[in-house]
């Protein structure tokens, strides 16, 4: 089945540092989404990407849809304590049904 | 605009029992998808309902079933519970029509199911 490889699995950084994480797939996706999940909560949508090559920002977050449609990355600039959490990439294929394939997640820890 | 509401938030059940989880989507959304989240397997797609019809199904046994009502609210049922069914069950709501800005999936807070 379809799988997304997300890396790194965990990151330990200092407050103020920039963060970069990415997802790769052996399959093509038509949509890439990035979610953040806090403990005990559901994933919250951060950024959605719909076109190959698209670069989209949401505040300090920037994400790109790879030109091959098989990868995406998320950057967080000038990290702050509330950025702590688990970040997931998700891919969606064309076909009508709302089915997302998720990466394994990147756990972000920030040292103050 | 109210978000996706899942009830209950927590459940403890015994092996062999059955359980029903509920999800109320965002007003106007007609698609409800269900996901199972475990530490070992991550987020796995269970099934999706759109306008009261199951439109897609993941690789889960028949013990996992669902339905959607005319008001788009959805329920998920797990029969003959096993210890391995302990997980966070998440539902996601979307318009379910097309793949463009405004059709993204929004998640509820989840139901934490513990099977003992």
pLDDT tens digits, residue range B57-114?
999 999 999 999 999 999 999 999 999 999 999 999 998 877 777 778 999 999 999 9
Closest CA to B88 of B57, B50, B49, B115: B115
Q: What residues of chain A lie within 8 A of the CB of B106, using their CB?
A: 45
The answer to whether the beta carbons of residues A72 and A52 sit under 8 Å apart is: no
- Rounded to whole angstroms, the Cα distance separating B7 from B23 reads 7
Chain A interface mutation, best of B45, B96, B102, B112, highest count of A Cβ atoms under 10 Å: B45
Mean pLDDT, residues A91-107 taken together: 84
The answer to whether the beta carbons of residues B92 and B37 sit under 8 Å apart is: no
* pLDDT at A55 exceeding the cut of 60: yes
* pLDDT at A95 exceeding the cut of 90: no
Sequence-separated (6 or more) residues with CB below 8 Å from residue B50:
A97, A98, B30, B31, B32, B68, B96
Say if the Cβ atoms of A42 and B108 lie within 8 Å.
yes
Residue of B nearest to A88 (CA): B43
In this predicted structure, what is the pLDDT of residue B1? 61
Q: A24-33, A93-102, B52-61, B75-84 — which one is most confidently predicted on average?
A: B75-84
B contact residues 16-45, partner A, Cβ 8 Å cutoff = 31, 33, 35, 42-45
Closest CA to A5 of A28, A30, A23, A26: A23
- In Å, the largest CA–CA distance within chain B is 43
In this predicted structure, what is the pLDDT of residue B96? 81
The C-alpha torsion from B5 through B8 and B13 to B16, rounded to 10°, is -50
**Burial (CB count within 10 angstroms: exposed 0-12, middle 13-18, buried 19+), residue A48:** buried
Mean pLDDT, residues B4-31 taken together: 97
The answer to whether the beta carbons of residues B45 and B54 sit under 8 Å apart is: no
Percent residues over pLDDT 90 in chain A: 83
pLDDT in tens, B29-50: 999 999 999 998 999 999 999 9
Q: Does B97 or B5 have the greater pLDDT score?
A: B5
């Amino acid at each position: 089945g379809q799988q997304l490889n997300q890396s790194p699995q965990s990151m330990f950084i200092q407050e103020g540092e920039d963060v970069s994480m990415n997802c790769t797939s052996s399959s093509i996706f038509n949509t890439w989404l990035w979610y953040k999940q806090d403990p005990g909560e559901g994933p919250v949508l951060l950024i959605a990407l719909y076109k190959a090559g698209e670069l989209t920002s949401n505040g300090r977050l920037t994400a790109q849809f790879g030109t091959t449609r098989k990868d995406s990355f998320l950057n967080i600039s000038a990290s702050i304590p509330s950025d702590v959490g688990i970040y997931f990439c998700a891919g969606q294929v064309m076909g009508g049904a709302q089915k997302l394939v998720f990466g394994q997640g990147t756990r972000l820890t920030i040292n103050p | 605009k109210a978000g996706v509401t899942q009830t209950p938030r927590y459940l403890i059940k015994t092996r062999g029992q059955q359980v029903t989880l509920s999800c109320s989507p965002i007003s106007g959304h007609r698609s409800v998808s269900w996901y199972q989240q475990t530490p070992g397997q991550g987020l796995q797609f269970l099934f999706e309902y759109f306008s009261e019809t199951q439109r897609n199904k993941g690789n889960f046994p028949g013990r996992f079933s669902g339905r959607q009502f005319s008001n788009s609210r959805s329920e998920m049922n797990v029969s003959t519970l096993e210890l391995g069914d302990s997980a966070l069950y998440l539902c996601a709501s979307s318009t379910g029509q097309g793949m463009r800005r405004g059709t993204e999936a929004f998640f509820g807070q989840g139901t934490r199911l513990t099977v003992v």
